[in-house]
Chain A
């Protein structure tokens, strides 16, 4: 009995039909309960923010001064604010902005980080220069710099792209260009190791040009650390945007984001505590779930753990 057991598992392994490696990743990801719960919560929040407004009759900026400061009711599940705007609709609109900022800023920062990481890992000649630049960015005091930048470019960008779009571009760019350094370092380290592998040598020996070598052979192999830092970056970007809005340096007052809603709600903390707490809970839930997804992804994408 004891002897047949390992044989059987060997059989299963031998006859398992070939399949995409992403199924293995998914199998490992499923085991991580926190990551599963995180994906579920994150999915629900995304649905709430992006599909919710189709079904919700109120507009986020519709002012109904007669029904202001209402508590929770069937008509207004989260109540209304001091101008009678429906808080549920504002939460949806705010979530759209916060999530969009998080995702676009993440894409930008990952793009810059991967580009700099790959280039400085692959091309010896500019490595020193690139890494000095990374160190320099790491030494910048980020939050003060973000605040100064958002104060600086607020007017000119609003004039060119309109208030909302200008602010969106400003915040996304500001977060993107101040948060790529970690990704760049991780990617550079991986590229340095990958570059010495035999298969890269083989590819180079048949005359593969650097561009294709990077795109076909090196990039796919640094994908997993990039994905992990991408998820974590969404969380950081959402927190940074909310912090900026919270300090009054983010989007304009009539344009709700979660951070802005917390900021506005603080004034009414004594009378209507839910007004500051609800958006806070949403930010926290989003960040928590994204961090759990990142944790699960890290485990799932690590081939050393996946086999166990």
Chain B
């Protein structure tokens, strides 16, 4: 198991390097010019110097290795320093600078992360909490009206794109009923019950939209996995030994059915961080997804590159975690 983990981690490094290089080269080809927003009256030689100041003068491979060094050594040191409060950990000197804001990319990401984590993370947790009981009961009473309704709703939730459900909720709850605000106010400081109420109200719609989507997907897996297990021989054995239905379903079957579901849940965690780009765009939540979109529009190459590679790291990491969880929960699986 340990060897396997180590091997996978080592294998992840070239994968990530390759992804970083691919994204870097893609951006390198991009026709977007970070100087495009500058006034046209700037003389060409000054413009050229401004390009040099952005670090665009050097050959692409030198820039790539510089970025790689900053990304893998300097930025993590600052993150560590912020997290532990020990300032001496941070390496002095050049950091990855966003073209748009001229401030370090790591700091901007740290500012945007809480919004994304709150909205998308909460909706993921709610999604799991809703999906697991529905999946269990649907499978237990297969083809009952509850199952039919549950399957239909999960199919609908799975099929409706968030850029449809988002505006629909806005129309009903913000425009017609006036319950929730349309725009998510990130500057809101929660220090009283009234503000807390406001925060709840502005989070309600984006969280609901994403919860519906997440719950729909997890319900399908949960139901299928429960159905697979309910027909197994050990269930009959447990029943014949006189165990109550509650014990049979909630202990024997549930524990076995959770194995694939847990890996599905683990595989979905990176999407919490990538931030539901579309939902954030609809409700103007300025999280990581919105950050990525504006960075792409402004051809802010360092920001797009760093964010994409962070997302790729998260995906690779949680793929590994999902595989390991599989082995932890299912003793029949051994990686050697």
Question: A residues bordering B, Cβ < 8 Å?
Answer: 34, 132, 135-136, 138-141, 143-145, 147-149, 151-152, 155-156, 235, 239, 242-243, 246-247, 249, 259, 262-263, 265-266, 269-270, 273, 276-277, 280-281, 283-284, 287-288, 291-292, 295
Are B167 and A266 touching (Cβ within 8 A)? yes
> Separation in Å of the B295 CB from the closest CB of chain A?
9
Are B278 and A243 touching (Cβ within 8 A)? yes
Residues of A within 8 A of B296 (CB): 144, 147-148, 151, 249
Are B315 and A147 touching (Cβ within 8 A)? no
Residues of B within 8 A of A262 (CB): 163-164, 167
Q: Does B232 have its Cβ within 8 Å of any Cβ on chain A? A: no
Are A247 and B281 touching (Cβ within 8 A)? yes
What is the chain A residue whose CB lies nearest that of B277? A143
> Separation in Å of the A156 CB from the closest CB of chain B?
8
Q: Does B31 have its Cβ within 8 Å of any Cβ on chain A? A: yes
Rounded to whole angstroms, the CA-CA distance of A144 and B281 in the bound complex is 14
Residues of A within 8 A of B277 (CB): 143-144, 247
Known: A139-B315, A288-B155. Contact between A148 and B161, CB under 8 A? no
Known: A149-B26, A284-B161. Contact between A292 and B155, CB under 8 A? yes
What is the chain A residue whose CB lies nearest that of B15? A136
Q: Does B23 have its Cβ within 8 Å of any Cβ on chain A? A: yes
Known: A247-B293, A291-B159. Contact between A152 and B19, CB under 8 A? no
Residues of A within 8 A of B315 (CB): 138-141
Q: How many A-B residue pairs have CB under 8 A?
A: 120
Partner of A155, one of B27, B31, B292, B312: B31
Given A147-B292, A281-B164, 4 more pairs with CB closer than 8 A: A132-B15, A138-B319, A144-B274, A287-B159
Q: How large is the interface on B (under 10, 10 to 19, 20 to 34, 35 or more residues)?
A: 35 or more
What are 18 A-B contacts defined by CB distance under 8 Å? A135-B319, A139-B19, A140-B19, A141-B308, A143-B277, A144-B274, A144-B296, A148-B296, A148-B304, A242-B163, A243-B161, A243-B278, A263-B163, A269-B167, A273-B171, A277-B164, A281-B164, A288-B160
Please list the 10 inter-chain residue pairs (A to B) with the smallest Cβ-Cβ separation, ordered nearest first.
A280-B164, A141-B311, A288-B159, A287-B159, A246-B163, A284-B160, A139-B315, A152-B30, A139-B316, A273-B171
Q: Does B189 have its Cβ within 8 Å of any Cβ on chain A? A: no
Rounded to whole angstroms, the CA-CA distance of A235 and B155 in the bound complex is 12
Rounded to whole angstroms, the CA-CA distance of A283 and B32 in the bound complex is 31
Are A147 and B311 touching (Cβ within 8 A)? no
Residues of B within 8 A of A247 (CB): 277-278, 281, 293
Are B164 and A269 touching (Cβ within 8 A)? no
Rounded to whole angstroms, the CA-CA distance of A135 and B277 in the bound complex is 23
Rounded to whole angstroms, the CA-CA distance of A51 and B29 in the bound complex is 41
Residues of A within 8 A of B304 (CB): 144, 148
Q: Does B156 have its Cβ within 8 Å of any Cβ on chain A? A: yes
> Separation in Å of the B44 CB from the closest CB of chain A?
22
Residues of A within 8 A of B118 (CB): none
Rounded to whole angstroms, the CA-CA distance of A140 and B21 in the bound complex is 12
Known: A140-B19, A247-B281. Contact between A277 and B161, CB under 8 A? no
In chain B, residues 217-256, which have Cβ atoms closer than 8 Å to a Cβ of chain A? none
> Separation in Å of the A236 CB from the closest CB of chain B?
10
Are A139 and B15 touching (Cβ within 8 A)? yes
Rounded to whole angstroms, the CA-CA distance of A34 and B156 in the bound complex is 12
Residues of A within 8 A of B27 (CB): 148
Q: Does B329 have its Cβ within 8 Å of any Cβ on chain A? A: no
> Separation in Å of the A258 CB from the closest CB of chain B?
10
Are B159 and A259 touching (Cβ within 8 A)? no
> Separation in Å of the B333 CB from the closest CB of chain A?
16
